[in-house]
Amino acid sequence: MINIEFDLDSTLVEIMKPFEKIMLREYGLDVSGSTQYDLADEFDLSFDKIMKGFAEVYDMIEEIEFMPGAEELLHNLYARSDDPVHIITSRPIEFAEHTFRLMERFNVPFTISMLDYHYDKHNYIRKEYFVEDRRRTAIDLANRGIKVFMPKHSYNKLTQTPGCWPENLNPIDSLEELMPYLHLFVK
């Protein structure tokens, strides 16, 4: 049985690079290197403009790249367990088909829970480990006792000294760092 679950965007797949190109092309905004998850605050963008940009990225099913180590990790989890990987994402439900088709590219069995908002994730997690890129969600999950791996991005830096964030929160540079721990992720 697989003992780890995953967020999708910016954990398993790279959506920020194409999104940054769209924001530059459509609005002349360079959002690369943003230090905030919520771009509306940092760049004075409307929610509709942000969602329009993400909708365009979600349509790029074949062009979206996998994050380093994602494909290998998912294949190893499946090979060791014969169980589907579980994805818990806050993508809007109207992109369910896009999300399903994107996950099919990994060529491993999977299940998906699509949520209305980030704050509900703890209600869906059934495993000991979770991979999440959104800092606020990662901290919340870690405070609830879930062991969280958070891929590092410009928008989710932990600014406090180590020890000031939950001990269950582990920043990682890439999913490749999780490969030595496969024995923990499959029971």
Residue 131 CA to residue 149 CA, distance in Å, equals 5
* Fold of the 4-14+65-185 domain: Rossmann fold (3.40.50)
What are the pLDDT tens digits along the chain (187 aa)? 999 999 999 999 999 999 999 999 999 989 887 877 778 878 888 889 988 999 999 999 999 999 999 999 999 999 999 999 999 998 889 999 999 999 999 999 999 999 876 668 889 999 999 999 998 899 999 999 999 999 998 888 876 666 678 889 999 999 999 999 999 999 8
Which tokens sit at 55?
């909708």
User: How large is the C-alpha radius of gyration of the chain?
Assistant: 16
Residue 182 CB-density burial (10 A; 0-12 exposed, 13-18 middle, 19+ buried): middle
Residue-range domain boundaries for the chain: 4-14+65-185, 16-58
C-alpha pair distances (Å), 158 with each of 4, 132, 151: 22, 14, 11
Q: Which helix (H) or strand (E) holds 25?
A: helix 16-27
Residue 143 CB-density burial (10 A; 0-12 exposed, 13-18 middle, 19+ buried): middle
What are 88's strand-pairing partners?
113
**Which pTM was predicted?**
0.92
Model confidence over 61-72: pLDDT tens digits?
999 999 999 999
What pLDDT does residue 162 have? Answer: 62
CA atoms in the 13 A half-sphere facing the CB of 1: 6
What pLDDT does residue 177 have? Answer: 97
Of 75, 132, 64, residue with least CA distance to 109? 75
Of 122, 127, 97, residue with least CA distance to 112? 97
What pLDDT does residue 37 have? Answer: 77
What pLDDT does residue 165 have? Answer: 81
Residue 45 CA to residue 103 CA, distance in Å, equals 29
- Cβ atoms within 10 Å, residue 71: 16
